[in-house]
Amino acid sequence: MIAEGSALAAGARSLLDVGGESELSALVERSAVELMGEADRWSMGAREVRAYRVVLTVSAEDHVLLTAHPNRLSTLRDAFAAAARTPETELGGLSLVLALPPTGAGFHRHAYRDAPAARVEPPPPPAAVLGGAAELCKARKNRDAEGILRRAAMEQSYVQAAARSMRRFLLRLDPADFARIEREPPLAESITSAVRDAAATADDPASAVHFGLRLDGPLPELPEPEARLAHSLAGKGAACVPITRPDGKTWLAVIGASGVVLVELVPGADKGLVSRGEVKVSRLRVSAEALASAEGADGVSAQIVAALGASKIR
């Protein structure tokens, strides 16, 4: 019988150490290794063996380390195959799975697809897959994709595909982010890839990912500076809607009963507002540091509401 996951991992680490692959050996040591499902029966010439599938659950950083250099994953797979090989056993496959927050378990530990009726483990909330995808984009240094995922909401369903069901994820984005991914297909593909990698399981390496507009308004999932400002403005009877986020800045439309102003949120330490006169709509600039506290956001929102009074829609 094949050794349990921990013993198999120890054997693979020994082979990697001897082969001078200490970095990959350390990766295996800090990752989770487990056998998945029942063994398959393989005929290999005169031999009939049991082939076991192995799941390696890794952090976002290690996922990038392996997928960015395919030869590393191949080296890792060869080490596990050698450790699993006996006259009666073989490695049936090595699946790379992303550890999802907050538990660090892979999606396969929670998924309901083809689960037995007696299973009592709850499915992971969609936020777990969303958080894992955001962490993966962070590790890949794709800040734009990470930011969009942090602001997004996710819905999950199962659809029938032939004889099996398939996971379907719907990413709901605010209007500014939705418009941006329509303009930038590579950015949309980066987000889709991250979600698929975060949701990968031993049985299902890919899932369907779709985009849609948020239906619950932008306030609950806005980044902290924007959320504080939006909360303060709501108390003063004004709505705050993100329009676009170019080059690390954010344009917000603040709408009140007496008018509309555009607010440009920029990085930096400028405590005040810089008015940029427009023919029909006033534009105001606010630094993120000015919104570092509820008191600061309250002071800024008071100035914005005052500007609303002087700005009428013509």
The single residue listed with the structure tokens 């939705």 is: 178
Q: What percent of the chain has pLDDT over 90?
A: 10
Which pLDDT tens digit goes with each residue over 12-23?
A: 999 999 989 999
Q: Return mean pLDDT, the chain.
A: 76
Q: Which two tokens stand for residue 219?
A: 């306030």
Q: What pLDDT shows up at residue 103?
A: 59
Q: Which residue, among 213, 216, 311, has the nearest Cα to 263 in the 3D structure?
A: 311
Query: What is the tens place of the pLDDT at every residue in 132-178?
Result: 899 999 998 999 999 999 989 888 877 655 555 667 888 988 878 88
Q: Is 126 exposed, middle or buried (0-12, 13-18, 19+ CB in 10 A)?
A: middle
pLDDT for res 2: 42
C-alpha 219, offset from chain centre: 20
- Three-state DSSP class for residue 157: strand
Half-sphere exposure of 262 (CA within 13 A, CB side): 16
pTM of this prediction? 0.43
Strand partners, 161: 164
Determine contact, residues 202/36, Cβ cutoff 8 Å: yes
Q: Is 241 exposed, middle or buried (0-12, 13-18, 19+ CB in 10 A)?
A: middle
Residue 312, both tokens: 């009428």
**Residue 111: closest CA among 163, 151, 102, 100:** 100
Asked whether the predicted pLDDT for residue 191 surpasses 90, the reply is yes
pLDDT band (50, 70, 90) for residue 121 = very low
Ranges of beta strands (E only) in 19-152 are 32-44, 47-58, 89-98
pLDDT of residue 97: 85
How far is C-alpha 232 from the geometric centre of its chain's CA atoms?
A: 29
Range of weakest confidence among 60-74, 106-120, 227-241: 106-120
pLDDT in tens, 192-224: 989 988 887 655 655 788 888 776 554 445 666
Measured N-to-C along each axis, helices 22-29 and 5-18 cross at an angle, to the nearest 10 degrees, of 160
Rounded to whole angstroms, the Cα distance separating 145 from 187 reads: 7
- Evaluate if residue 120 carries a pLDDT over 60: no
28-60 burial: b if 16+ Cβ within 10 Å, else e: beebbbbbbeebeeeeeeeeebbbbbbbbbbbb
